[in-house]
C-alpha cells in the first residue's frame, strides 16, 4: 500500500486525527459527517476514501501502528522482533493508541475477513520472518508472533491492565525461547 502525498496525505492525517480526538472525547459513535467537520473536510471525501466509519477507524489504527512500530531490519530476528515489539508496546502505553485499539476491536464484525489493512500488517510480519529464515535463523510463524507477543499486549489494553516498559521485550524472549533450535526448512529448496 503506497502512502499518498500532498493534499491527500493532509486530508488523511486530518481525518485520522479527528477520529482519534472524537474517540478520546468519548464520542465512540461519532458519524462520518461529524468526523469530517472536525477534520475540516467535506463528508463526501471521507465516504469516497473510506466508505464506512469502521474502515476509517481500521485505517487510522493500522496507519498509526505502522508509523509507531515499523518492522525494522536489524540483521537478526531477535533485533527485528525487539524493535517492532518495543514500538507496539509504546503505542499501547499511549492513550491514543489504546483508544484506537479499543475502537478497532469494537468495529470488527464476527466472521468478517481481515481487510486489506490488517492483511498488509500480517504481510509486514511475514516479510520479517522470511528475511530471518533466508539468513538461516530458526523462525516462528506469524501466528506465533501474534500469540506470544501481540495478543498479550493487546489484551492488557483491552482489559485496562498496565503495559509496563519492557513487556514487549519479555514477550519476544518468551517467543524465541519456545522456538526449535533448527532453522525452518527452506520450502523453496524442497526441504
Report the chain's mean pLDDT, rounded to a whole number.
86
**Residue 161 burial class via C-beta count within 10 angstroms: exposed 0-12, middle 13-18, buried 19 and up:** exposed
pLDDT digits (tens, 9 = 90+) for 90-106: 999 999 889 888 888 88
CATH class of residue range 1-51: mainly alpha
Average pLDDT over residues 158-170: 95
Which pLDDT score is estimated for 1?
Answer: 44
Which CATH number is 53-181 given?
Answer: 1.10.357.10
Please say if the pLDDT value at position 190 is more than 70: no
Q: Where are the domains of the chain?
A: 1-51, 53-181
pTM over 0.75? The answer is yes
For residues 20 and 129, what is the distance between their CA atoms, to the nearest angstrom?
31
Amino acid at each position: 500500500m503506497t502512502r499518498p502525498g500532498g493534499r491527500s496525505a493532509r486530508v488523511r492525517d486530518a481525518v485520522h486525527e479527528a477520529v482519534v480526538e472524537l474517540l478520546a472525547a468519548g464520542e465512540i459513535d461519532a458519524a462520518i459527517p461529524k468526523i469530517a467537520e472536525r477534520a475540516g473536510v467535506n463528508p463526501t471525501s471521507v465516504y469516497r476514501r473510506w466508505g464506512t466509519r469502521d474502515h476509517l477507524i481500521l485505517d487510522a489504527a493500522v496507519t498509526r501502528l505502522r508509523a509507531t512500530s515499523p518492522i525494522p531490519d536489524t540483521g537478526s530476528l531477535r533485533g527485528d522482533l525487539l524493535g517492532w515489539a518495543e514500538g507496539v508496546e509504546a503505542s499501547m502505553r499511549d492513550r491514543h493508541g489504546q483508544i484506537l485499539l479499543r475502537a478497532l476491536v469494537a468495529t470488527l464484525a464476527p466472521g468478517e475477513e481481515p481487510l486489506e489493512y490488517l492483511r498488509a500488517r500480517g504481510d509486514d510480519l511475514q516479510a520479517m520472518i522470511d528475511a530471518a529464515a533466508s539468513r538461516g535463523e530458526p523462525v516462528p510463524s506469524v501466528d506465533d508472533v501474534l500469540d506470544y507477543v501481540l495478543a498479550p499486549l493487546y489484551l492488557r489494553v483491552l482489559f485496562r491492565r498496565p503495559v509496563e516498559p519492557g513487556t514487549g521485550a519479555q514477550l519476544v524472549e518468551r517467543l524465541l525461547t519456545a522456538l526449535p533450535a533448527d532453522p525452518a526448512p527452506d520450502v523453496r529448496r524442497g526441504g
